[in-house]
Amino acid sequence: MDYQKFLDDQAAELRRTVGGGLAINALSGGVDSSVVTALGHRALGGQLKTIFVDNDLMREGEPAYVHRIFSDMGIPIEVIDARREFLATLAGKTDPEEKRCAITETFYKTVFGRVVRESGARFLLHGTILTDIEETVAGIKRQHNILAQLGIDPQQAYGYQVLEPLKTLRKDGVREVARLLGLPTEITRRIPFPGPALATRIVGEVTPERLATVRAATAIVEEELADTGAFQYLAVLLNDRATGIRDGKREFGQIIVVRSIESSDARTAAVTELPWATLHRLSERITRIPGINRCLYDLTPKPPATVEYV
């Protein structure tokens, strides 16, 4: 595929569709939304407003990190504090699809709806890729960014039109386009991270305490596995507890699962054969997080498992 031509065509198409209007997009810091941000700014310049929604579901230091990377590229990002709204909507919810649905609604209707109304934007640029569409249509998982394919008309439901310039690409194609757009390698090589963020890695209820736990474990996993070249690695907080011993006393503690996979596009995945010393270090560091007394390594390929747990 000629990715330069793809880029030029998509930029021209965006200019044609948006015309003299205003478009808006949400950056998550993942490769897909970063590419949409850079592509959108190349095509639309000041007619694109990029926001970063701080939903409290992000990795450690993420809002500041993303803001810095894009400021360095001359792309202004507005950080919107929606932490309270997301935590409120997730409170008490344990069903995976209900959690995803609540995040979609809060993201697109409450937060975006508000920003769109206030800014007068008529278009929303979104980093949907082909794999997201296929899996949603196949009914495997409701990716939170798929609306039209689920029969939801965003114009009618939320008051804006969604544009998805990457919807014919898979992850490898997105990385090619990212390179052509001059995105820094720390972004283009970044491992995939899902839109609903750490909520996909908390089995059961999402609470501020449980978020803090999975965030701490995620930071350890990302640090320890950064040089492995694995496609994606993550930490998951289970909803079970297990008996353990700490400081000579019985503790009914929480359980973190480490997952690391090899894949080219996340449609199928094999488990990374991590060295024993790495697994050992992960377990040692993760069980130092308060309340965690077990660390497991997930040995399941995709299928039958998916990458995320929720």
Q: Which residues of this chain interact with ligand XMP, rule CB under 6 A? A: 135, 141, 143-145, 192, 194-196, 200, 232, 266, 302, 306-308
Amino acid identity, residue 12? Answer: A
**Residue 15 or residue 302: which is nearer to ligand XMP going by CB?**
302
Amino acid identity, residue 228? Answer: T
Q: Is 213:204 a contact under the CB 8 Å cutoff?
A: no
**Residue 100 or residue 210: which is nearer to ligand XMP going by CB?**
100
Q: Which residues contact 97 (CB under 8 A, 6 or more apart)?
A: 142
- Closest approach of ligand XMP to the CB of residue 35, in Å: 12
- Closest approach of ligand XMP to the CB of residue 292, in Å: 22
Q: Which long-range contacts (CB under 8 A, 24 or more apart) does 67-72 make?
A: 69/29, 69/184, 69/186, 69/187, 70/27, 70/37, 72/184
**Residue 29 or residue 253: which is nearer to ligand XMP going by CB?**
29
**Residue 76 or residue 303: which is nearer to ligand XMP going by CB?**
303
CA distances from residue 83 to 133, 211, 258 in whole angstroms, order as listed: 28, 12, 26
How far apart are alpha carbons 254 and 290 in whole angstroms? 9
Q: Is 198:256 a contact under the CB 8 Å cutoff?
A: no
Q: Residue 66 has which token pair? A: 């993303």
Q: Residue 166 has which token pair? A: 């990457």
- Closest approach of ligand XMP to the CB of residue 151, in Å: 18
**Residue 137 or residue 242: which is nearer to ligand XMP going by CB?**
137
- Closest approach of ligand XMP to the CB of residue 53, in Å: 14
- Closest approach of ligand XMP to the CB of residue 266, in Å: 4
- Closest approach of ligand XMP to the CB of residue 281, in Å: 24
SS (H, E, C) 165-211: CCCCCCHHHHHHHHHHCCCCHHHHCCCCCCCCHHHHHECCCCCHHHH
**Residue 236 or residue 295: which is nearer to ligand XMP going by CB?**
236
| SS3 state of residue 153 | coil
**Residue 47 or residue 200: which is nearer to ligand XMP going by CB?**
200
Helix 83-90 to helix 96-105 angle (10° resolution) is 150
**Residue 144 or residue 294: which is nearer to ligand XMP going by CB?**
144
Residue matched to tokens 């919107």: 80
Specify the DSSP class assigned to residue 63.
Answer: H
- Closest approach of ligand XMP to the CB of residue 103, in Å: 8
- Closest approach of ligand XMP to the CB of residue 6, in Å: 20
